[in-house]
Amino acid sequence: MGLPARGKSTLAIRLRDYFLKEGIPARIFNNGNLRRRYLSQLETSSSEFYSPENVAAMELRRKLALMNMTRAKTYLRNNGTIAILDATNAGRERRSLIEKTLNDHDLLFIECVNDDDDILKMSIREKIRLPEFAHLKEKAEKEFLKRIGYYKLIYTPLKTERNYIRIDTLQNMIIGEKHSDVIPYYERLRDYLVTDEVKNLFLIRHTETEYNVENRIGGDPPLTHKGRRQALALGRFFKRNKISYIFTSNKERTIQTAKMIGSMQDDCRIIPLREFDEIGAGICEKMTYEEIETKLPQVFKKRGADKYNYVYPDGESYATMKPRIMEGIKKAFFLNRHAANIMIVGHQAVNRMILSHFLYRREDDVPYIYIPQDRFYHIVSKQDKKIFELKRYD
């Protein structure tokens, strides 16, 4: 349960796949799919279909929800073990109907909570790409936001239910729970909910820039001719892998690299995240390390003594940028959970921080992790499998 665009369907798919992999029969019963099957998309894409004052539509939605509950009950009476009801179930009245209809089965409610504005905007943009909203064109986002507003009028967070988990779907963090009954697989489910999981992460550093040639730090330089050739080589290498999203920083060099990779993909979207911007060098921006040593010897000396914690004057350190990098990782994982492959085109310091999230390196060692421009890191991180490999693409 939860408001629209909070990650319910994504979580439902993840849970079903997890249980099936464990040999536990599980099936999803999605109210939206049933609605789209039996009703006109012109009708269901309109925000007014979800208005609490639209009595006829409310009755239709109730009947469809009850149909889904009945289908779930039949499944459980036969060979099913876990039925996942995927719907907003935003009000106490609907949840009470579930309790009455499925009163001969163990029930656990999972509330998906996520109030991050950036994630909500990007999630809505993905939602309105569905065929259901095609006829609305530029009005689609406005209609979807209005739909969310109607759900907010009846939204009641979990509290009185006997068994529930409230989870921040961006942070994979449980923010509330109640466990009144013995629920099968509860501990395994709870552990899985808080686990970061990535099937394939391709972590790439932007290709060569003019500043790389001159050994300058920071700034916003473009790619060199060699850098463009490298980016095209990356594109050719990954052509056989389906990449739905490429996450970058807001800097030109990462976006240029991503565009060349994305140009060889079908329907690949590039999403810049400010969280992946390179470490801020402050007063040292655009300087070479030799210039820093000559003109700002104290800065050079202090940073050399503690590279992880030293904060550039008017800038950042590895330590101070860690929270935003971790937030960027969470956003990338949230937006790309349906896809098998995740790609991040980042910077040297940024990619070191991302790798340290998986490799658990000592802080003192993080600023020295090897981040070449002619190779990339391939990472798999699941409960039962971990892979870290540095691979060439040329």
CATH second-level architecture of 198-392?
A: 3-Layer(aba) Sandwich (3.40)
Average pLDDT over residues 6-18: 91
pLDDT score, position 338: 64
Structure tokens at 375: 């190779």
**DSSP secondary structure code for residue 130 in this structure:** S
Q: How confident is the model at residue 337 (pLDDT cuts 50, 70, 90)?
A: low
Distance, in Å, from the CA atom of 391 to the CA atom of 394, rounded to the nearest integer, reads 9
**For position 31, what pLDDT does the model report?**
94
Q: Which residues, 6+ apart, have CB-to-CB distance to 384 below 8 Å?
A: none
Asked if the domains 8-193 and 198-392 are classified in one and the same CATH topology, the answer is yes
**Residues 286-300, mean pLDDT to the nearest whole number:** 96
Q: Which amino acid is at 327?
A: E
What was the pLDDT predicted at 248? 98
State which H helix or E strand residue 179 sits in.
strand 173-179
Q: What is the pLDDT of residue 130?
A: 80
Instruction: Specify the pLDDT at position 90.
Output: 95
Highest mean pLDDT among 71-75, 194-198, 333-337, 377-381: 71-75
pLDDT at 336 over 80: no
pLDDT digits (tens, 9 = 90+) for 99-137: 999 999 999 999 999 988 888 888 888 888 888 888 888
For the entire predicted model, the pTM comes to: 0.85
Query: Residue 312 — φ and ψ, nearest 5°?
Result: -55, 140
Q: What is the pLDDT of residues 133-160, one digit of tens each?
A: 888 888 999 999 999 999 999 999 999 9
What mean pLDDT is predicted for residues 349-355? 96
The answer to whether the CB of 151 falls within 8 A of the CB of 49 is: no
Are 380 and 386 within 8 A, CB to CB?
A: yes
- List of residues 6+ apart from 371 with CB closer than 8 A: 205, 348, 351, 352, 355
Domain spans of the chain?
8-193, 198-392
Q: Is the CATH number 3.40.50.300 carried by domain 8-193?
A: yes
Give residue 140's region: left, alpha or beta (phi > 0; psi -120 to 50). Answer: alpha
Per-residue confidence (pLDDT) for residue 339, from 0 to 100: 66
Name the pairing type of β-strands 375-382 and 198-205.
antiparallel
Query: Rounded to an integer, what distance in angstroms lies between the CA atom of residue 375 and that of residue 373?
Result: 6
- Predicted confidence (pLDDT) per residue in 203-242, tens digit: 999 999 999 999 999 999 999 999 999 999 999 999 999 9
Please provide the size of the chain in residues.
Answer: 394
Residue 351's pLDDT is 97
Query: If we measure between CA atoms, which residue out of 379, 21, 29 comes closest to residue 188?
Result: 21
CB contact set of 46 (below 8 Å; sequence gap of 6+)? 143
pLDDT > 90 in the chain, percent: 76
Average pLDDT over the chain, rounded to whole? 93
Q: Residue 126 pairs with which residues in a beta bridge?
A: none
